[in-house]
Amino acid sequence: METCMKFLFLAFATFSIIHQVQSQDQQGFISIDCGLPSNESPYVEPVTDITYTSDAGFVHGGKTGTIKKVSETDFIAKPYRVLRYFPDGTRNCYSLNVTQDTNYLIRTVFVYGNYDGLNIFPRFDLYLGPNIWKSLDLRRTGFGAVVEEIIHVTRSNILDICVVKTGTSTPLISAIELRPLPYNTYPAQTGSLKNLVRYYFTTSNKTILHPKDVHDRVWNPYFQPEWTHIDTTLNVSDSSGGYDLPQDVIATAATPTNASEPLIFTWNLESADDETYAYIYVADIQQVRANETREIEIVGNGKVIFPPYRPKKFEFEVGMLTNTVPLKCEGGVCRVQLSETPRSTLPPLMNALEIFTTIEFPQSETNQSDVIAIKTIASTYGLNKVSWQGDPCVPKQFSWIGVGCSVIDISTPPRIITLDLSGSGLSGVIPHGIQNLTQLQELDLSNNNLTGEVPEFLAKMDSLLKINLNGNNLRGPLPQALLNRKKGGLQLHLEGNKDLCVSCHSKFPVVVVVASLCSLVAIIIMVLVPVFILRRRKTSTGKVMRPSLEMKNRRFTYSEVREMTNNFQVVLGKGGFGVVCRGFLNNEQVAVKVISHSSTQGYKEFKTEVELLLRVHHVNLVSLVGYCDEGNDLALIYEFMENGNLREHLSGKRGGSFLNWSSRLKIAIESALGIEYLHIGCKPPMVHRDVKSTNILLGQQFEAKLADFGLSRSFLVGSQTHVSTNVAGTLGYLDPEYYQKNWLTEKSDVYSFGIVLLEIISGQPAIEHSRENSYLSEWATSMLANGDIESIMDPKLHGDYDTASSWKALELAMSCINPSSRERPNMTRVAHELNECLEIYENLGKRRSQDANSSKSMVHNISFISDSPSAR
């Protein structure tokens, strides 16, 4: 209650200390004042300098209210003075557009303030998407105000925050605030983090918030009688790894008054079964003499949770310490104790502390493409059904009326399989958006006022088993494709559409048929004549005249392949498939992959690669010039990549060629973009299944292109579900989840790319039996236990890299190889993070050498954060 009241009364508590601070960047902030009239939006909150907007565009129902003015509400901050309450419907939701796979601080505020004059504090449930977040009882706070805050990684581009009526009282909400955080901050083994307290240790009564805290965290002052307060007016640098603590928070600290006593902090959990994380911030802000040492041992509930920690001497730097494994506290009472070690001559100190418990949101949201499709349909028809809020399918008791779903289990995104909009007053034509419900089995649009023709796309929806269009005003001829589907068993109901012609196809005029035949003959002539001409283009010696290399994707004879390679004279490489030879086509170099008759890569893989590269074109995918498919003689002709493959350069087998850190990051980015294109640019999307460093080829300017698509497979459009298939790929790069369950998703490529990224960072091969840990993933994890970046980075770089970008790249690689595919980033996120790594490196420029010492000191602090870079 005390923390909540300080938060709500922040206008009174903090105006004097921040009114002169300039406005900060609010990129990505979502700040919604619930109940604010549209004509008063937007406005700038005078204390925090944050811009708030009305909730009118985010919610469909509800009414607005204003809290009653009494002495204790006079200083409540402006965003919490009005509210929206929901007398109608069971579930009412705010739908927010967010960035997928982004770490957000999400805060919801509820202030009753006797807005209705009944003085009855409401009780209701708060949901995040399809999962319950909290059962709220505003009576328990005395004043009737609650603040709920979590740190959560978004699973899709849509986030629903819902209040659900559970009894006779009316749900309400005052404000919704979302703040994007750096992706690698606040890691948790599973689930999300629910904030319990956020304290900085001071005898002051000032609450610290935005704009001093750029992430809009609220820091409340805290102190105990048995502590001594220390502070500094000097600048304290933040090397906490992206947590961006305000100066006012880290420039003050507490030490035990009795120097021989420990510094103890206790807290109570809401449930004895809760798991908790403590984020401890330590900066030695005292002037420590050369013969003095401060070394701290941290014990959580009787267990040492960190190695002895020494703050940096003579440098005011804050480090962040947290338990990587969540604590369980007997009886729900937790205790963290900071003590001096036997080697220490100074007592422990602590600047600030955050406490979180884990909160699970296990139910998967409905397939995002289905959600977008059904919302588009609702928008097209202007449907404002009370039940059509939040997730369409789950939880089942709140599923949309008229929408039927397939719900397999909580980890599999539900799919929409039936849509009943009968008697809904629909008008206009049947919208094309319906075809985006790719798993739809039954469609009922009967008894409406629909006009226009029956669209042919309905026949192309293979999953449809039943279509009911009775009682509309549809007209024109029924598509023949639909009639064919009806013969195949599709239930098609068309009664009551008097202008709809079912048997019009046999009545087409003869002239139309004749015209169509003439057009067909003309097309055949235009296609065949050039073919005959090309076949006649022979020289006097009988050799075929070569087309330009730009005439790609053509089929060659085996004799032509032998000719272009000079009888396979120059071999560029060998593999299980056969050999790659250098060739010349129209005086330009090409690479010719000749499939051996005994190759493990059979005709199926050859055919897959040809078909994929005939339709797929991207700057970061190797181009197919042509192919040979002549009996048992198979060959693929690619564009020539002058600098071979990535593994050759990392291993030093490329004639002493050296890749610097900048070049490695660019190769990683370009490779990631190629894989991203397969995942989201192809129709249907593809999984490569054999991403590895030998399949990343480098051109003349070391531009990177992904190659070898023989194992590629398509997967469901817009689906997070898996494809069951036999395991294929290369040992050392194989996704363990795919290997164990035969479940293939695009995240299998993400895992393989994570191994490639580790190769780029370390120079180590994916498997090396001379290492104690043969597999690169295991080796990297073991090396990270020491928290020393230098032991992981490729020694051939000779230290020519910066700590910030290399740590970020390493953390990204470890998140890609997370054992759980759900916790891995998608390739869009991977490419974005790698671009940030490159920007960090390039922006440092000339300052790199000057900052080397401070960069290395950062490593010392980060090493206590976790045994390995954390993946969300």
pLDDT digits (tens, 9 = 90+) for 99-125: 988 999 999 999 999 999 999 999 999
Which one has a higher pLDDT value, 709 or 619? 619
Using the predicted structure, report yes or no on whether residue 476 has a pLDDT greater than 50. yes
pLDDT classification of 290: cutoffs 50, 70, 90: confident
Burial of residue 628 (number of CB atoms within 10 Å: 0-12, 13-18, 19+): buried
Give the model's pLDDT for residue 721.
47
- Confidence class of residue 341 from pLDDT cuts 50, 70 and 90? very high
Our count of domains for the chain comes to 5
* Domain co-membership, 622 together with 677: no
Q: Which pLDDT belongs to residue 546? A: 36
Q: Which of 622, 639, 656 is the last residue of a domain?
A: 639
pTM beyond cutoff 0.85: no
Would you say residue 518 lies in a domain? no
Confidence of residue 521 (pLDDT cuts 50, 70, 90): very low
Query: Of 241, 344, 254, which is closest to residue 297 (Cα–Cα)?
Result: 344
Domain limit, last residue, from 446, 481, 507: 507
Residues 692 and 826 reside in one and the same domain: yes
Would you say 297 and 304 are in contact if contact means Cβ atoms under 8 Å apart?
yes
pLDDT at 333: 94
149 lies in the same domain as 245: no
Strand partners, 621: 706
Close Cβ partners of 501 (under 8 Å, ≥ 6 residues apart): 475, 476, 477, 478
Is 519 a member of any domain?
no
Kindly report the CATH number assigned to the domain that includes residue 852. 1.10.510.10
690 is an active site residue: yes
Mean pLDDT, rounded, for 435-456? 95
Q: Return d(Cα 104, Cα 368) in angstroms, integer.
A: 19
The total of other beta-carbon atoms located within 10 Å of residue 38's CB is 10
Tell me, yes or no, whether 271 lies in a domain: yes
For residue 55, the model assigns a pLDDT of 96
Last residue of a domain, one of 181, 213, 232: 181
**Hey, what amino acid is at 696?**
I
pLDDT in the model for residue 598? 62
Q: Residue 322: in which H helix or E strand, if any?
A: strand 317-322
Structural domain including 608 reads: 554-639
299 and 375 housed in the same domain: no
Q: What pLDDT does 729 receive?
A: 75
pLDDT (mean) for 265-285 = 93
Which CATH number is 282's domain given?
2.60.120
Q: Reply yes or no on whether the pLDDT at 545 is more than 50.
A: no
> Mean pLDDT, to the nearest integer, of 864-872?
31
Is the domain of 310 the same as that of 401? Answer: no
Sequence-ordered list of residues with C-beta below 8 angstroms from that of 176, at least 6 positions apart, any chain: 30, 32, 34, 55, 58, 94, 96, 106, 107, 108, 109, 161
Q: Which token pair is 666?
A: 């660019």
In a shared domain, residues 402 and 467: yes
* Per-residue tokens: 88: 């109608």
CA angle 54, 58, 63 (to 5 degrees): 70
Residue 38: give its domain's CATH number: 2.60.120.430
Asked if residue 513 belongs to a domain, the reply is no
Return the CATH number at 610: 3.30.200.20
Statement to judge: residues 617 and 704 lie in one domain: no
Give per-residue burial for 377-407: e unless 16+ CB within 10 Å, then b: bbebbebeeeebbbbbbbbeebbbebbbbeb
19 and 158 part of one domain: yes
Q: 521 or 231: whose pLDDT is higher?
A: 231
Q: What is the predicted pLDDT for the residue at 857? A: 33
Task: With respect to residue 534, please indicate whether it lies within any of the assigned structural domains.
Answer: no
Give, as one character, the DSSP assignment of residue 167. Answer: S
Considering the candidates 213, 391, 690, 735, report the single residue annotated as catalytic: 690
Do 846 and 803 share a structural domain?
yes
Q: Specify whether 355 is located in the same domain as 377.
A: no
Q: Give yes or no for a contact between 628 and 564, defined as CB atoms under 8 angstroms apart.
A: no
Q: What is the model's pLDDT at position 58?
A: 94
Here the tokens at position 246 are: 């305000």
CATH at residue 501:
3.80.10.10
- The answer to whether position 189 is within a domain reads no
Classified as helix, coil or strand, 522 is helix
202 and 348, same structural domain? Answer: yes
| 134 and 46 within one domain | yes
pLDDT at 630 > cutoff 90:
no
Is 507 labelled a binding residue?
no
490: left (phi over 0), alpha (psi -120 to 50) or beta: beta
Give pLDDT tens digits for 653-686: 776 667 999 999 999 999 999 999 888 877 778 8
Q: Is the pLDDT of residue 415 over 50?
A: yes
Does a cis peptide bond (omega within 30 degrees of 0) precede residue 530? Answer: no
Yes or no: say if 636 and 593 are a contact pair by the CB < 8 Å rule. yes
Q: pLDDT tens, 295-328?
A: 999 999 888 887 889 887 656 788 889 888 899 9
Least confident of 56-65, 212-221, 289-298, 607-616: 607-616
What is residue 391's predicted lDDT score, i.e. its pLDDT? Answer: 96
* Within a domain: 535: no
Q: What is the distance between the alpha carbons of residues 629 and 304, in angstroms, rounded to a whole number?
A: 66
Sequence-distant (≥ 6) Cβ neighbours of residue 640 within 8 angstroms: 582, 588, 589, 590, 591
Q: Would residue 330 count as lying in a domain?
A: yes
